[in-house]
Amino acid sequence: RRLCSQAAAAAAASSSASTSATSAAEAQKFASLADSWWDRAGPLQALHSLNRLRVPLVRTAASFARGPAGLADAELVDLGCGGGLLAEPLARLGVRVLGVDPVAESVEAASSRRQQSAAAESGIADGRLTFRCQTVSELAADRPAEFDLAVASEVLEHVDNWPEFLRSAADLLRPGGCLVVTTINRTAASYWLGVVAAERLLRLVPPGTHDWRLFIPPDQLRRRLADCGLETRLTVGMRLNPLTGRWAWSRDLSLSYGLVAQKLPAAGTH
């Protein structure tokens, strides 16, 4: 319910179409899930099991962006990090992760878990995992071209103005850096299976999580990325088995899919 005060003020002050891409309704949805982020058997369990695909995808992006150096000591920003489900395992692998989210409750959940884990020596060195309550566009203004990797996982379909979001994400990357996106395609299949079946029948995700109208087809996404100077290097489908709760890679892009796009170096350099 509470967007960060800075973000709300910026949105109010702006005269153009909202710089805060997340609507209040979406923010409320996530605020009410604040206690469920780290309940592995709870309503967000599909996000936990998605890490088995997301982490290797980020690792692939790191090999594009940094070659053999890979993930070790990479600077990564997790856009829309929620409770830090993806940020934490990446930090354990030696990545320097900054998690940002405009929903204060999510950032609180992530920070307090980080404090608990720090007390219990979770294997993450100090300073490698930090969380901030901020919007993407603000962060892009603060820290342009500072990151090797940016991740927007299961985020774009919750955002009203995703082209604007992508532009800010592109600004955060240094030349040669990579953006990793996972989101859901807008097809008949994703309506019947991804929304109706998943939310209402099988309860794989909490009901009302997704608005089908906000889903994004991959070719539209790739076009917008190209507009921002990001060249798509890899697109893969992802499929959830409703019985086992396990995700698997798929050639079929009609439901969930993941994508890695690289920021082209400045003109004249290679």
- Contacts with another protein by CB under 8 A lie at 38, 40, 48-49, 51-52, 55-56, 59, 62, 69-72, 88-94, 117, 120-123, 246
Distances (CA, A) of 118 to 48, 75, 92: 20, 20, 12
Minimum CB separation of residue 70 from another protein in Å reads 4
Q: At what angle do helices 24-31 and 104-119 cross, to 10 degrees?
A: 30
Q: Which is nearer to another protein, 51 or 187 (CB)?
A: 51
Closest CA to 153 of 203, 226, 89, 244: 89
Distances (CA, A) of 37 to 83, 94, 100: 6, 23, 15
The sheet that has 230-240: what strands, in order across it? 129-133, 96-101, 75-79, 147-153, 173-184, 256-263, 230-240, 247-250
Q: Which is nearer to another protein, 121 or 268 (CB)?
A: 121
Q: Which is nearer to another protein, 93 or 152 (CB)?
A: 93
Q: Which is nearer to another protein, 11 or 47 (CB)?
A: 47
Minimum CB separation of residue 61 from another protein in Å reads 12
Minimum CB separation of residue 180 from another protein in Å reads 15
Minimum CB separation of residue 46 from another protein in Å reads 11
Place of tokens 């794989």: 204
